[in-house]
Amino acid sequence: MTSLGHPRLSGPARDPAAPQDVLVRLAAHPAGRHGLVLRAGRLADAVVEALLTHDGSGTAAELRRDRIFPEMRRRIAEHPDPAIRDAHADFVHHMVDREVGIGIADLEEAYGQP
């Protein structure tokens, strides 16, 4: 879904041919972040850094393990801001509390493996 408030920013953020420098700039705008979160495939570390800079924990909750590279996941896990560091686990706990289906990998990441 395209951000109706600013479709010219949301759409290009999902474009698989968009250059990384454009994606980094789009991360500064809410509609650009909206498009980036919906973008298919992995996000480059520079794009993830820009997302975290501009939206912090809001974006961190959306960065599932298949969206970012392992090194970036480790950096987020060690982030000094607990809101960013814990955002994805908090999101998973929120979904579980509301009985929304969620993948086993996300559950194991948030709750630990049995």
- pLDDT at position 101 is 93
The separation between CA 71 and the C-alpha centre of its own chain, rounded to angstroms, equals 15
Domains of the chain, by residue range, sit at 7-111
Q: What is the Cα–Cα distance from 63 to 60, expressed in whole angstroms?
A: 5
Q: What is the pLDDT of residues 68-108, one digit of tens each?
A: 888 888 888 898 999 989 998 999 999 999 999 999 988 99
DSSP letter at 65 equals: T
Contact assessment for residue 33 and residue 59, using Cβ atoms and an 8 Å cutoff: yes
Among 72, 96, 76, smallest CA distance to 86 is for 76
Q: What is the pTM of this model?
A: 0.76
Q: What is the pLDDT of residues 20-71, one digit of tens each?
A: 999 999 999 988 988 898 888 899 999 999 998 888 777 888 777 778 888 8
Q: What is the Cα–Cα distance from 38 to 3, expressed in whole angstroms?
A: 11
